[in-house]
Amino acid sequence: MLKELGKDIEPMQRIAFLNDNCDGVEEKGYMKRLSVEEIRSMKDELSEASIDINDIEEEKREAAKKFKARIDPLKIQRKALLANIKNKAIYTKENCYKFVDQNERMTTYYNAEGDMVESRPAVADELQATIFQGLRKTGTNN
């Protein structure tokens, strides 16, 4: 079989020649060779598309930074709120009142509302008697 057929005939006459001499016409997909000019043109299009893609990706990164800056504080807030709901409590830092029970050998802390916030075994330093521990305040003059 020949690699080329009717190349020496004009394009319109070549189609008629091929049609008149063939056994059938079928639509078929195949890889058609490109000319040097077509390749050069496609390379130019590729360069333009690459530049456009790069510009769009840069815009996307900038937009992502803006969205991240907006969403990060909300994520931190959500995390804290979820922890508070899960624990059914909120972490707070305030003055607490320490009481050492020498007999029970326990140290207990109370908040300003009078709620016990911590109770633990007393350490050695807390168990050393002072001159005032025998004079516990009861809120009366007795």
Mean pLDDT of 106-110: 93
Residue 48, pLDDT above cutoff 80: yes
pLDDT per position as a tens digit, 78-90: 999 999 999 998 8
pLDDT for res 109:
93
Residue 58, pLDDT above cutoff 90: yes
Where do the DSSP E strands lie in the chain? 97-101, 106-110, 116-121
Residue 72, pLDDT above cutoff 90: yes
pLDDT for res 124:
87
Buried b (16+ CB within 10 A) or exposed e, 5-28: eeeeeeeeeeeeeeeeeeeeeeee
**Is the pTM higher than 0.85?**
no
User: In the structure, how many helices (H) and strands (E) does the chain have?
Assistant: 3, 3
Which residue ranges make up each domain of the chain?
A: 34-89, 97-127
pLDDT for res 127:
83
pLDDT for res 130:
59
Q: Which residue has the higher pLDDT, 102 or 49?
A: 49
pLDDT per position as a tens digit, 121-138: 999 888 886 555 555 555
